[in-house]
Amino acid sequence: MKSNDYKYDDIHKGMSFAFKKMISEKDVMDFAKLTGDYNPLHCDEDYAKKSTMGSRIAHGMLLSSLFSTLLGMHCPGKRNLYLTQNLNFHNPLKLNEMVTVQGEILNKTDSLKMLEIKTTILDQNGKIIVDGIAKVKVLE
């Protein structure tokens, strides 16, 4: 996949962008291997079934990492320098569900060429899983 190449002046307040991704068992296990987070809510079906979750769920940080894809590939794309991100975890996501990762430009700071972007991940039923605000600098 090729990264978009928006210049700062190409981006406007209210602009939105999104992509979809299926969160598979392989994604969860690859993330566990990468991070060392083998929490049984994510990796042990027997444990997770007995928990209040009722089944295994995806790591919140795995889902949040998709914001990097959103900003680095979609908007602003290759000129993106990720500065900050706050996160709010609203609901768990069971494995093998499709998510929609979306962003909306809330504000621009011309003197710094900085964007404030509302970032949201929705499950396949439109329920908010994770949201937050990202700040990025658009490089020349």
Q: List the chain residues with pLDDT less than 70.
A: none
Residue 2 is given by DSSP the state P
Q: Can you tell me the distance from the alpha carbon of 99 to that of 127, in angstroms, rounded to the nearest whole number? A: 10
CATH at 106: 3.10.129.10
Strand, helix or coil for residue 15: coil
In a domain, 51, yes or no: no
Strand, helix or coil for residue 134: strand
Q: Can you tell me the distance from the alpha carbon of 25 to that of 43, in angstroms, rounded to the nearest whole number? A: 9
Buried b (16+ CB within 10 A) or exposed e, 19-48: eeeebeeebbeebbeeeeeeeebbbeeeeb
Domain count for the chain: 1
Strands 97-109, 16-23: pairing is: antiparallel
In a domain, 48, yes or no: no
In a domain, 6, yes or no: no
In a domain, 3, yes or no: no
- Is residue 128 within 8 Å of residue 121, measured between CB atoms? yes
Residue 1's pLDDT is what? 79
Residue 86 is given by DSSP the state -
Alpha carbon 101 to chain centroid, angstroms: 6
In a domain, 118, yes or no: yes
In a domain, 32, yes or no: no
Query: How would you class 100 by CB atoms within 10 Å of its CB: exposed for 0-12, middle for 13-18, buried for 19 or more?
Result: middle
Residue 96's pLDDT is what? 96
Give the structural domain span for 83.
Answer: 14-24+58-138
In a domain, 43, yes or no: no
At position 35, the amino acid (one-letter code) is T
In a domain, 8, yes or no: no
